[in-house]
Amino acid sequence: MRLSALILVSISLTALPQQLEINAEPLSESVLVLTGGGGNVTAVVGREGVVVVDTFTSPAAARLAREKISEFSHKPVRYVINTHYHADHTFGNQVFADAAIIAHSNCASRVAEAYAERAAEYAAAPARVRQLEADFRDAVESDADKAARIKEELDRERRLAALYEGMELVPAPLTIDGGMTINLGDKKLKLLHFGPGHTDGDLVVFVPEDNLLITGDLVFHHSIPYIDVGAGADVQAWIGVLEKLYEMCDRDTKVIVGHGDTGGRQALADQRDYLRDLWKAVDDARTSGKTLDEAKAELKLEKYSHYERYERALAGNVEACWQLIEKSEAGSQ
């Protein structure tokens, strides 16, 4: 056995995955923002309990989030709101199953339908770890190359097992199609649905007493967004939603976004302007006779080159807008 291979395959079987780091930032005595485990999570504390908005991308991250929320307030978590169905906002739901979990009906149905297979895969990770550990022990004495390949797969499965231990898919059991108000005694949280945007099941949460707006992934602050065409995203409608949200806010409103730093109403305007510029650029490219591949290669929107995800996500945004324009043109014929 080569020395390099011996060193590689002799790495401890009990090595743990990298420690999760969940950051907690109090915005006030009653509002806590948590980051580091997926989309942003917010805890709003009222006289009669806590409302948590979104739940991170894994049970492990959600458990750490709940610990930090408990340190911030000893009041019980009464409600959990899912702003939309994506896993990085809903895969921690099981950690809050003792609360009333609320989502738009399109969100809850998509969690159940889109993620059943993935959740089952994650839940089965511990069994795969045990099998791979046995395979590794068998291979380590006889086939260094095979053992190295198994070790790579084993590391991945260990990470999954640690993050998704006891994974259960929990779509929100309480659903709404429009809006509702949650009364915490001294403050009222308004759940609002303005139609399709990032998906067809987006909810925002407005807390007048805190002058606070929580947008979910309707806003990626200074980051290229994800346009989920398959889940009913509508860029033109999304722009309209952002306009309405901007009108709800004043210059002192805190805006907690789905990804990125907390901002003010300018974060809404920045996202709106990006989507407008993107749509116009794609529409102009189509009108000039360019192909989709040409548009993806040539459209740069350099005004936004400093945004996170610019290099890896802009071409996907171009394609999403192209598909939506095609769909709109087909519907008008």
* Nearest-angstrom CA–CA distance, 266 and 249: 10
Residue 14's pLDDT band (cuts 50, 70, 90): very low
Which residues 6+ apart lie within 8 Å of 169 measured at CB? 94, 111, 112, 115, 116, 119
pLDDT at 333: 58
CATH architecture of the domain with residue range 23-116+169-193: 4-Layer Sandwich (3.60)
List, in sequence order, every residue forming a beta bridge with 104; answer none if it has no partner.
176
For residues 254-271, give the mean pLDDT.
Answer: 97
Each residue of 43-96: pLDDT tens digit? 999 999 999 999 999 999 999 999 999 999 999 999 999 999 999 999 999 999
Instruction: Using a pLDDT cut of 70, give the percent of the chain over it.
Output: 94
In Å, how far from its chain's centre is CA 250?
A: 26
Which residues 6+ apart lie within 8 Å of 333 measured at CB? none
Q: Kindly report the CA angle at 143 between 138 and 146, in degrees rounded to 5? A: 85
Strands (E) in 179-288, as ranges, are 180-183, 188-192, 204-207, 212-220, 254-259
Residue ranges matching CATH 3.60.15.10 in the chain: 23-116+169-193
Question: In this structure, are residues 195 and 232 in contact, taking their beta carbons and an 8 Å threshold?
Answer: no
Which residues 6+ apart lie within 8 Å of 156 measured at CB? none
Joined together, the tokens standing for residue 156 give 């991945």
Residue 332's pLDDT band (cuts 50, 70, 90): low
Hunting for tokens 């399109």 — which residue is that? 106
Does pLDDT of 221 surpass 50?
A: yes
| Per-position b or e across 31-52, b if 16+ CB within 10 A of its CB | bbbbbebbbbbbbbbbeebbbb
Question: In this structure, are residues 251 and 265 in contact, taking their beta carbons and an 8 Å threshold?
Answer: yes
pTM, two decimals, is 0.91
Hunting for tokens 């911030």 — which residue is that? 72
Q: What is the mean pLDDT of the chain?
A: 93
* Nearest-angstrom CA–CA distance, 190 and 186: 13
Joined together, the tokens standing for residue 239 give 């722009």
Lowest mean pLDDT among 83-97, 131-145, 248-262, 310-324: 131-145
Residue 142's pLDDT band (cuts 50, 70, 90): confident
